[in-house]
């Protein structure tokens, strides 16, 4: 009997996953194409090819859609940084930092306007547990990278480095830069300059 239940549940869950994915994808597209002010649940549902009722089956309200989009972004970011660090066998500081930057820039340049929109939404988010946890996790990884350089790394330093990188990447996004390698080189210069040899 339990088996029967399970076999009937699975397809539903798969369909549900597809629905959720479609909703998030549609939201991202609207954000990119028309901007945050034009994002509304009816449009999301329409563009996702889903009824408005279905949207509210999976998201309690409009804000939840944005929150989930941010959650995805954060998750992709942490994963990317982790992978960058894993790939870097050596303990050489420069190489590690470069790899991390490469992974983050990748995320931004893929969908510049989306990244920007989500960054903005994030900036005005209340500092809930999840946000704090994410920042702790990210800062921890950055600290690890900067630590390979030898000297001690203060919280202030981490935030400054993140701020520098974020500022330069966003500006590159807005300017529609495409030369990822050059951008990385310039950010490295600023960060290393800031850290001071």
Partner DNA sequence: CATGAATGAGACTTCATTCAT
Partner DNA sequence: AATGAATGAAGTCTCATTCAT
Size of the site for its own copies (CB under 8 A): 32
What are the angstrom distances between the C-alpha of 156 and each of 50, 67, 76, 116, 171? 46, 27, 25, 24, 22
What are the angstrom distances between the C-alpha of 3 and each of 10, 11, 68, 80, 91? 11, 13, 32, 38, 50
Q: Note whether 38 binds DNA by CB under 7 A.
A: yes
Q: Is the separation of the CB atoms in 31 and 39 below 8 Å?
A: yes
Q: Is the separation of the CB atoms in 71 and 130 below 8 Å?
A: yes
Stretch binding DNA (CB under 7 A), from 25-33, 47-55, 68-76, 79-87 = 47-55
Per CB under 8 A, the list member of 116, 141, 147, 180 interacting with its own copies is: 116
* Token output for 58: 């999976």
Per CB under 7 A, the list member of 18, 21, 132, 163 interacting with DNA is: 18
Q: Note whether 4 binds its own copies by CB under 8 A.
A: no
Q: Is the separation of the CB atoms in 118 and 32 below 8 Å?
A: no
Per CB under 8 A, the list member of 14, 16, 83, 175 interacting with its own copies is: 175
Q: Note whether 34 binds DNA by CB under 7 A.
A: no
Minimum CB distance to DNA smaller for 59 or for 134: 59
- What is the C-alpha to C-alpha distance for residues 111 and 28, in angstroms, rounded to an integer? 10
Minimum CB distance to its own copies smaller for 49 or for 167: 167
Minimum distance, C-beta of residue 116 to its own copies, in the bound complex (Å): 6
The residue whose two tokens read 């960060």 is 191
Residue numbers at the binding site for DNA (CB under 7 A): 1, 3, 9, 11-13, 15-16, 18-19, 38-43, 50-57, 60-63
């Amino acid at each position: 009997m339990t088996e029967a239940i399970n076999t009937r549940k699975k397809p539903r869950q798969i369909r549900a996953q597809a629905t959720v994915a479609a909703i998030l994808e549609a939201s991202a597209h609207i954000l990119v194409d028309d901007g945050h002010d034009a994002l509304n649940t009816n449009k999301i549902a329409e563009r996702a090819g889903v009824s408005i009722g279905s949207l509210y089956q999976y998201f309690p309200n409009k804000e939840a859609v944005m929150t989930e989009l941010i959650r995805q972004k954060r998750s992709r970011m942490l994963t990317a940084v982790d992978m960058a660090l894993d790939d870097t066998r050596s303990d050489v500081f420069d190489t590690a930092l470069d790899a991390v930057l490469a992974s983050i820039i990748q995320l931004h340049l893929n969908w510049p306007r989306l990244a920007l929109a989500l960054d903005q939404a994030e900036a005005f988010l209340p500092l809930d547990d999840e946000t704090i946890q994410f920042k702790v996790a990210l800062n921890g990884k950055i600290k690890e990278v900067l630590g390979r350089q030898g000297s001690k790394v203060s919280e202030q330093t981490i935030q400054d480095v993140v701020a520098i990188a974020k500022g330069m990447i966003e500006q590159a996004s807005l300017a529609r830069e495409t030369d990822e390698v050059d951008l990385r080189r310039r950010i490295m210069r600023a960060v290393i300059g800031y850290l001071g040899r």
